[in-house]
């Protein structure tokens, strides 16, 4: 072999690749998919899909979401379906790995030919398929994440958010803390990604110098001793926790260990008390139920959905019944309710779209009116606002009792707008149309 042969080969590579020389990142805009189609719809079924972490690091908390949604769809199908069609709900496991999210989403769209994507879970995961879904013309409803990027009607017209975004939620926390703890020192403990960043943007609207210490954690690194010690050293009396459940529990256990008892204020993503109890039991090597409840006692959290502890709530009553009939093996937690509300909302929209169903008619129905149902705050899904739930309430957990509402639900925006009350007629399940009945 002559020493020049590799050079020759590389030269050939260049020549051949040069034939395909447009900028790799120059994507033609403007080609919009045809939405007047009814892909995945037959006379008696409509097929939708989702990607969820049924395995992997996010599975322990979030696998219940699709279980809850599935239970509601079974209940709907048992009661005659929606406009004469049964809902077929395909759940693909992506293990919270973006590479697999891309794989299973293509499978759902190209092979299973789903009508719409419902509640794809996670920011790192779903952000990698938003462009694909919009390009393929697949409605991408109710993304299971509080990132701000789902509410971008210009860029992603088919993507609609679901849960209250991190900034709105943090604004409500910030105002509450400024009112109720005016003289206290505030610490901020956050996940080092958009969760923390967007939450800070909201908090800083209401809190300035009061924030004496900020500490972050990396998802996946469970050693948080130094961060909690720093918060203690700074003398923070209130610690705002923009964390997922695992890190809320770790923070509680760690601060207890070093004799530090701040008032925790937790975002809804980390505040599912049933999940927290399970985690605390695990992290404390099986402390009794009472001890775990005691650790959580007084925890302040934001919420926008009915809580499993609200025994009087008619929706919780219905969901508990559906859970017992269709999801017996799972736990009934706020996370389960999250999926159940998601499914209920989707069925409501589907019902509204009518028998003559296309992707366009589904989106028209979604934007046609204000949605009221299981949620505690108004739901934004209009031409210019794809934000989903628009606010939250503030609650306090009491060991062995019902959660106390510290501040009634309020709505706000993600910029400098005020936090205000709202008029919302919240219908009972009996007044809500989300299946045919009979």
Partner 1 sequence: MASPAPRPAADEVRPPAGPPAPVGTRARWSTVPLVVRHLVLAAGALAAVLLLIAATDTVNTMRIAAVGYSVLAIAGLQVLIGASGQVSLGHGAFMFIGAYTVALLVIRLPMLPLWVNLLITVAVSAAAGVVVGGATARLHGPYLAGATLALAVGLPSLAVRFPELLGGGNGLAFTTRGAPPALAATVSTAQWQAAAVWFTVLLALTVLATVSRGRLGRRMRAVRDDPLAAAAAGIPVGRTKVAAFVLSACCGGLAGACQGYLLGTATPSSFTLALSLSLLAALVFGGMGSLWGALWGGAALVYLEVWAEDAAHALSLGTSVTNNLPIVLFGLILIVVVLLRPDGVHGAVRDAAGAVRRAR
Q: Which residue from 74, 97, 213, 274 is in contact with partner 1, where contact means CB under 8 A?
A: 97
Q: Does 364 bind partner 1 (CB under 8 A)?
A: no
In angstroms, rounded to a whole number, what is the distance separating the alpha carbons of residues 68 and 341? 9
Residue 132 or 181: which CB sits closer to partner 1?
132
- Determine if 275 is a binding residue for partner 1 (CB under 8 A): no
Q: What is the DSSP annotation of 108-140?
A: IIIIS--SEEE--B-HHHHTTTHHHHHHHT--E
287: contact with partner 1 by CB under 8 A: no
Residue 27 is a binding residue for partner 1 (CB under 8 A): yes
- Identify which of 100, 110, 82, 103 has the alpha carbon closest to the alpha carbon of residue 365: 82
Token pair belonging to 435: 């299946």
Q: Considering the complex, state which of residue 106 and residue 261 has its C-beta at the smaller distance from partner 1.
A: 106
CB of 160 to partner 1, least distance (A): 19
CB of 257 to partner 1, least distance (A): 26
Least distance to partner 1, CB of residue 39, Å: 14
Q: Is 127 in the site for partner 1 (CB under 8 A)?
A: yes
Query: What distance in Å separates the CA atoms of residue 381 and residue 63, rounded to the nearest whole number?
Result: 26
Of 30, 36, 43, 111, the residue at the interface with partner 1 (CB under 8 A) is: 111
Give bridge partners of residue 371 from the DSSP assignment.
379
How remote is the C-alpha of 203 from its chain's centroid?
A: 20
Under the binding rule (CB under 8 A), the answer on residue 152 touching partner 1 is no
Please classify residue 222 by burial: count the beta carbons closer than 10 Å to its beta carbon, then call 0-12 exposed, 13-18 middle and 19+ buried: exposed
| Ramachandran bin of 287, using left for φ above 0, alpha for ψ from -120 to 50, beta for the remaining angles | beta
From the list 96-104, 180-188, 309-317, 350-358, the region that binds partner 1 by CB under 8 A is 96-104
- Which of 33, 37, 110, 418 is in the footprint of partner 1 by CB under 8 A? 110
Q: CB 23 → partner 1: shortest distance, Å?
A: 4
The answer to whether 255 touches 263, Cβ cutoff 8 Å, is no
Rounded CA gap, 264 and 254, in Å?
13
**Position 42 contacts partner 1 (CB under 8 A):** no
Chain-centroid distance, C-alpha 317: 23
* 16 near partner 1, judged by CB under 8 A: yes
Is residue 162 a contact residue for partner 1 (CB under 8 A)?
Answer: no
Rounded to an integer, what distance in angstroms lies between the CA atom of residue 281 and that of residue 291?
9
Binder of partner 1 out of 39, 55, 83, 368 (CB under 8 A) = 55
In angstroms, the CA 152 to CA 163 distance is: 15
State yes or no: residue 248 binds partner 1 (CB under 8 A).
no
- Please, what is the Cα angle at 359 between 356 and 362, to 5 degrees? 70
Beta strands in 129-270 (DSSP E): 140-143, 159-161, 186-191, 211-217, 238-242, 263-266
90 sits near partner 1 (criterion: CB under 8 A): no
Binding mask 199-228 for partner 1 (x = CB under 8 A): -------------------xxx--------
Smallest separation (angstroms) from partner 1 to the CB of 367: 26
Choosing from 73, 75, 89, 96, the residue that interacts with partner 1 (CB under 8 A) is 96
Give least dist CB 54 to partner 1, A. 7
Q: Of the ranges 124-132, 319-327, 391-399, 403-411, which one interacts with partner 1 (CB under 8 A)? A: 124-132
How do 238-242 and 388-389 pair as beta strands?
Answer: unpaired
C-alpha torsion 208→181→249→401, nearest 10: -150
Q: Does 74 bind partner 1 (CB under 8 A)?
A: no
First to last CA, the chain: 80
Separation between Cα atoms, residue 81 and residue 433, nearest integer Å: 11
Question: Residue 198 corresponds to which tokens in the numbers above?
Answer: 């967007």
Select from 37, 42, 106, 288 the one that contacts partner 1 (CB under 8 A): 106
The smaller minimum CB distance to partner 1, of residues 64 and 348, is found at 64
**Closest to partner 1 by CB, 23 or 182:** 23
Complex with partner 1: residue 10 or 291, whichever CB lies closer: 10
Nearer to partner 1 among residue 135 and residue 398 (C-beta): 135
* Piece of 2-10, 43-51, 346-354, 374-382 that binds partner 1 (CB under 8 A): 2-10
Rounded to 5 degrees, what are φ and ψ at 179? -80, -45
Residue ranges that bind partner 1, judged by CB under 8 A: 1, 3, 5-6, 8-10, 12-14, 16-18, 20-28, 54-56, 59, 63, 93, 95-99, 102-103, 106-107, 110-111, 123-124, 127-128, 130-132, 192-194, 218-220
């Amino acid at each position: 072999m002559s020493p020049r042969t590799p050079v020759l080969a590389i030269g050939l590579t260049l020549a051949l690749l040069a034939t395909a020389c447009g900028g790799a990142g120059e994507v033609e805009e403007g080609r919009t998919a045809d939405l007047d189609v009814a892909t995945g719809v037959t006379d008696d079924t409509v097929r939708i899909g989702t990607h969820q972490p049924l395995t992997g690091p996010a599975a322990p908390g979030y696998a219940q979401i699709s279980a809850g949604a599935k239970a509601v769809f079974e209940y709907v199908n048992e009661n005659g379906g929606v406009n004469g069609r049964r809902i077929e709900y395909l759940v693909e496991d992506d293990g919270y790995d973006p590479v697999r999210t891309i794989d299973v989403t293509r499978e759902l769209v190209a092979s299973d030919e789903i009508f719409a994507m419902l509640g794809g879970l996670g920011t790192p995961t779903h952000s990698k398929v938003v462009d694909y879904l919009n390009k393929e013309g697949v409605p991408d409803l109710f993304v299971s994440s509080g990132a701000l990027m789902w509410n971008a009607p210009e860029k992603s017209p088919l993507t609609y958010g679901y849960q209250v975004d991190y900034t709105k939620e943090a604004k409500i926390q910030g105002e509450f803390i400024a009112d109720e703890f005016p003289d206290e020192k505030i610490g901020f403990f956050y996940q080092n990604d958009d969760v923390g960043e967007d939450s800070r943007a909201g908090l800083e609207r209401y809190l300035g110098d009061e924030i004496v210490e900020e500490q972050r954690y990396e998802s996946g690194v469970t050693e948080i001793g130094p961060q909690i010690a720093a918060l203690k050293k700074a003398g923070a009396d209130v610690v705002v926790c923009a964390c997922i459940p695992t890190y809320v529990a770790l923070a509680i256990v760690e601060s207890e260990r070093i004799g530090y008892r701040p008032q925790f204020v937790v975002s809804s993503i980390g505040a599912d008390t049933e999940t927290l109890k399970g985690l605390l039991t695990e992290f404390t090597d099986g402390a009794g139920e009472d001890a775990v409840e005691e650790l959580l006692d007084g925890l302040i959290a934001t919420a926008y959905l009915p809580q499993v502890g609200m025994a009087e709530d008619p929706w919780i009553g219905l969901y508990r019944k559906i859970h017992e009939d269709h999801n017996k093996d799972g736990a009934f937690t706020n996370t389960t309710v999250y999926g159940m509300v998601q499914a209920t909302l989707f069925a409501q929209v589907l019902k509204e779209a009518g028998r003559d169903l296309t992707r366009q008619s589904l989106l028209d129905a979604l934007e046609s009116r204000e949605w009221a149902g299981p949620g505690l705050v108004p739901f934004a899904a209009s031409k210019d606002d794809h934000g989903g739930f628009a606010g939250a309430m503030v609650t306090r957990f009491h060991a062995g009792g019902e959660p106390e509402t510290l501040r009634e639900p309020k709505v706000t925006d993600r910029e400098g707008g005020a936090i205000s009350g709202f008029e919302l007629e919240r219908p009972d399940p009996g007044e809500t149309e989300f299946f045919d009945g009979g």
